[in-house]
Amino acid sequence: MATAFLLTAKPFLSSSSTPSSLSSLTNTPVLLSCAQQKKCNATRPLTLCKTLSDESPPVTHSPVIITKRSLSICFLTSFVFSLASRGDSSANAAILEADDDEELMEKVKRDRKKRLEKQGVISSANQEKGYLQDLVYKLSKVGQAIDKNDLSTASSVLGGSTDTDWVRKANIAFTKLSSSPDEKTQVDSFNSSLASLISSVTGNDIESSKTAFVSSATAFEKWTALTGLVGQLKGL
């Protein structure tokens, strides 16, 4: 501070027309300031160094900042790409879902068409439904007879073989009204069980007759459920 004051004081003194007495008075503080400056020079370097040390600019951490910024950019980039990939995944899922829906709708349409066709066939098959109604009647009579252990009555209703008239007519109806593999499987099961029933009744085997009758009736009920004839035949 004294040095700065000295530098500013010299031009001022040289440019003014101050008397010598005033100049001597004016120079006194300057000399004292210089003496005080010399006296304080011993401690000033340390103070100056300390001050400079304290006022030194903080160490910058540009590498860390750059690294954080790079990480931030990477994170944002990854986030954007993840959103884009999610968008693509959602779009693909939507396309697949649309394809599945379209396929499902096509299947529903095909099933509905088949169902309508089957209903049309059944509605026009009055003769075949008559054959099946006779089958229901005969199975009911045979079941009642077997329940009473009356195998002779059951045998008279069934006939001696599967080549009887009512069995052949029933198979005509089965053939015309069966369209799906499941329906045809139940027809085969019925005919097989019916053959066992006739054989058991003819052989006077009550237990085997009961078992074969249950199998025959079950297969026929499943077939009528598959074809939609449950509500159109009496006695079921």
Domain contains 21: no
178 part of a folded domain: yes
Q: How far, in Å, CA of 101 to CA of 110, rounded? A: 14
Mean predicted confidence (pLDDT) in 2-23: 41
Where is pLDDT greater, at 200 or 14? 200
Distance separating alpha carbons of residues 142 and 235, to the nearest angstrom: 13
Whose tokens are 């069934």? That residue is 158
Q: Residue 87 has which token pair?
A: 């968008």
- More confident call, 216 vs 85: 216
Instruction: Look at residue 11 in the predicted model and tell me its pLDDT.
Output: 44
Tokens coding 143: 């079941």
DSSP state letter for 162: T
Query: Domain containing 105: what range?
Result: 85-124
In 3D space, the residue among 164, 167, 193, 132 whose CA is nearest the CA of residue 201 turns out to be 193
Q: Are residues 130 and 112 in the same domain?
A: no
Q: What is the reported pLDDT for 22? A: 36
The residue whose two tokens read 């101050």 is: 18
Let me know whether 132 and 201 are in one domain: yes
pLDDT band at 67 (very low <50, low <70, confident <90, very high): low
Residues 200 and 108 occupy one common structural domain = no
111 has pLDDT over 50: yes
Per-residue DSSP letter, 204: T
Taking the C-alpha atoms of residue 132 and residue 136, their distance in angstroms, rounded to an integer, is 6
Intra-chain end-to-end CA distance of the chain, in Å: 122
Q: What is the DSSP letter of 227?
A: H
Rounded Cα–Cα distance for residues 74 and 181 (Å): 61
The reported pLDDT for the residue numbered 223 is: 96
* DSSP-based three-state secondary structure for 39: helix
Q: Tell me the C-alpha distance between 202 and 51, whole Å.
A: 126
Distance CA 81, CA 85 (A): 6
In this structure, the answer to whether residues 120 and 130 fall within a common structural domain is no
pLDDT tens column, 90-106: 666 666 666 678 888 88
Candidates 232, 7, 22; CA nearest to 130 is: 232
- Give the separation between CA 160 and CA 162, rounded to whole angstroms: 7
For residues 154 and 224, state if they share a domain: yes
Q: Provide the pLDDT confidence category of residue 139 given band limits of 50, 70 and 90.
A: very high
Domain total of the chain? 2
CATH code for position 188: 1.20.120.290
**135/203 same-domain check:** yes
- Burial annotation 101-110 (CB, 10 A radius, 16+ → b, else e): eeeeeeeeee
Query: Of 10-19, 68-77, 184-193, which gets the smallest average pLDDT?
Result: 10-19
Structure tokens at 103: 């396929």
